[in-house]
Amino acid sequence: MAELSRRGLLSGQWRHHSDAIRPPWSCENSLFLAGCTRCLACVTACETGVLITGSGGFPEVDFQRAECTFCRQCATACEASLFYPPQTHPWQLVAEFTARCLAWHGIECRSCQDNCEMQAIRFRPQLGGIAKPVLEAAACNGCGACVADCPASAIAITRSKNNE
Ligand code: SF4
Ligand code: SF4
Ligand code: SF4
């Protein structure tokens, strides 16, 4: 696991960049920021392009660009020992629907359900209205495949409240 870098700790880097989503299986954010050399080998290795160079030059996930396939190429590319082993949970993220969803505004859409391999999205019929998406949180692995194709940018990937 990552050793805390004295320089990283003293500079207080972990106090900033706290909202960013780090690569799957990566260690706690403060340890990650202290140990990451910003070589960006993980970003280069990412097969989908979901990893980007984020704030401060650290790698972070951008689900507006792509999904995570959990290929682990980011972890394999990292020489700083900042990733947990593959048998652990990659992260505690789930999808969340916001009020921008077209179904809330009377427009039929099921794009998110079509993109969800985990079948974590159901559509609940509404009396006299359009069916609305409902997340089966236990089935969602936070891959983000539902995000980019949502025509209303109505899906956020957030840290699961059940696992905090
Ligand atoms: S697991 Fe694969 S797709 Fe996901 S961030 Fe890492 S390299 Fe990219
Ligand atoms: S893809 Fe977006 S707009 Fe369409 S139903 Fe899903 S959340 Fe709503
Ligand atoms: S984040 Fe992935 S698993 Fe979760 S609802 Fe979206 S597509 Fe399905």
Does the predicted model carry a pTM greater than 0.85?
A: yes
Ligand 3 centre to CA of 4 (Å) is 33
**CA-CA distance, 12 to 134, in Å (whole number)?**
39
Dihedral Cα 130, 143, 69, 26, nearest 10 deg: 170
Torsion of CA 85, 22, 138, 64, to 10 degrees: -140
Q: Which ligand is nearest to the CA of 137?
A: 3
Ligand nearest to the CA of 152: 2
Interval between CA 68 and ligand 1 midpoint (Å):
5
Which of 71, 135, 131 is closest to 103 using CA atoms?
Answer: 131
Q: Encode the chain (164 residues) as per-residue pLDDT tens digits.
A: 443 344 444 444 444 557 899 999 999 999 999 999 999 999 999 999 999 999 999 999 999 999 999 999 999 999 999 999 999 999 999 999 999 999 999 999 999 999 999 999 999 998 888 999 999 999 999 999 999 999 999 999 999 865 44
Q: Report the C-alpha gap between 28 and 1 in whole angstroms.
A: 10
The CB of 97 under 6 Å from ligand 2? The reply is yes
Residues at CB less than 6 angstroms from ligand 3: 95, 115-116, 118, 120-121, 135, 140-146
Domain 93-163 has CATH 3.30.70.20: yes
Please report which helix (H) or strand (E) contains residue 123, including its range. Answer: strand 121-124
Residue with the smallest CA separation from ligand 3 atom 6 is: 146
Cα 93 to Cα 41: distance, rounded to the nearest angstrom: 23
- The residue ranges of every structural domain in the chain are 6-77, 93-163
